[in-house]
Amino acid sequence: MTTRRVIATGIAATMLVGVAACGRGGDGAKTADGKQITIGLAVANLQADFFNQIKQSVTAEAKKKGIKVVVSDAHGDAATQVNQIQDFISRQVSAIIYIPAGATAAGVPVKAADRAHIPVVTVDRNPPGQPGKSFIASDSVAAARTLGDWVGKQSGGKGQLAILQGQIGTTPQVDRQKGFGQALKKTPGIKVVAQQPADWAQDKAYSVAQDMLQAHPGIDILWGQADAMALGAAQAVKASGSHKKHLIVGFDGDIAGLKAVRKGTVDATMVQQTRKMGRMSVDTAVDIIKGKKVPAVQLQPAFLLTSKDQKKATEFIKTHP
């Protein structure tokens, strides 16, 4: 699909949100010069449930406030996203909520928006060297450390660990690697015998995990830095025919991940407050538009969910935090 078609599709879908909201906003949905507030939401990849949860939360919160939202989906391509945000700038949106599609050139759209005096709120990923006016995300360092501590206890402090990494250099990948690494320092009996990027994708994680298990038959712990990769790892373990118990953990708490933990396919994950982050991004964008000061960084806790917490998993599936 071309960039032009992606933008057009996003605009067509979200203009309905804007029109429906127009009669409900009052002064809160206006800029200082009396114009309707319009927010551009630049999403990395709407095929991922995590980003879809944020998009749904943003559009619902904007509708309550009488704010128009225009959505673009980069389908994981950073170059496409640069063009999409340039389209937002040309449309003179009031603010941009930006989830970078990758680490490469992630700061380019922020610089372009700054030149146009359009504030940017970054979510989940913050471009190094060119951050948004406010960055909203989970405290991935603390969350990954919590997960690593749990793995240390469940494994008895011993094991051979394989790590399926996210997109190298992105904020969540860097922070999750750091936090989990901090936990591993307390359990020297767990050895990292393999680690390789699988770029957040289940199919790639399946292939990578298969290679890892063949090269290192002693692997008994697998950590996917996102739930999709943990699911890929679980598929690879099943396909290997091994009868050995493998401890498999993820991160995100997306719907597929929650169901996998409830079923026991994945042993644990960290559940992010995606809906809350979506609401916060709208509130923060409006505050900036209104000239209010906002925190440069707004980190939210994530919740440890294990396969023993089936009731909690069901609650999260029904109403995501």
Percent of the chain with pLDDT over 90: 87
Q: Give the pLDDT band of residue 21 (cuts 50, 70, 90).
A: very low
- Whether residue 24 is predicted with pLDDT greater than 80 in this model: the reply is no
pLDDT of residue 201: 96
Among 26-35, 64-73, 259-268, the least confident range: 26-35
pLDDT at res. 27: 55
Residue scoring higher pLDDT (1 or 210): 210
Tell me the per-residue pLDDT of 303-313, one tens digit each, with 9 for 90 and over: 999 999 999 99
Mean pLDDT rounded to a whole number for the chain: 92
Residue 128 has what pLDDT?
A: 86
Tokens of 305: 């969910």
Residue of 72, 67, 68, 95 lying closest to 84 (CA atoms): 72
Q: How distant, in Å, are the alpha carbons of 33, 195, 313 from that of 208? A: 54, 9, 28
What does each C-alpha distance from 224 to 7, 34, 94, 167, 233 come to in angstroms?
32, 48, 37, 12, 7
pLDDT score for 32: 81
Edge-first strand listing for the sheet containing 38-43: 68-73, 38-43, 95-98, 120-123, 134-138, 297-300
Cβ atoms of 18 and 10 within 8 Å: the answer is: no
Residue 257 Ramachandran class (φ > 0 left, ψ -120 to 50 alpha, else beta)? alpha
The order of strands in the sheet holding 190-197 is 190-197, 159-165, 221-224, 247-249, 268-271, 303-306
Quote the CA–CA distance of 71 and 62 in Å, as a whole number.
12
pLDDT at 185 over 70: yes
Cβ neighbours for 179, distance < 8 A, ≥ 6 positions apart: 140, 141, 142, 143, 144, 145, 146, 147, 148
pLDDT tens-digit series, residues 116-140: 999 999 999 999 889 999 999 999 9
The answer, yes or no, to whether residue 103 has pLDDT greater than 90, is no
**pLDDT > 70: what percent of the chain?**
91
The whole model's pTM is what? 0.90
pLDDT in tens, 218-237: 999 999 999 999 999 999 99
Tell whether the model's pLDDT for residue 145 goes beyond 70: yes
∠ at Cα 91 (119, 121), nearest 5°?
Answer: 20
**Residue range 10-39: mean pLDDT, rounded:** 58
**Amino acid 273: pLDDT:** 98
Mean pLDDT of 167-178: 96
For 264-317, give the DSSP string: TSS-EEEE--HHHHHHHHHHHHHHHHTT----SEEEE--EEEETT-HHHHHHHH
Going from the N-terminus, what domains does the chain have, and what CATH number goes with each?
3-132 (3.40.50.2300), 140-272+306-318 (3.40.50.2300)
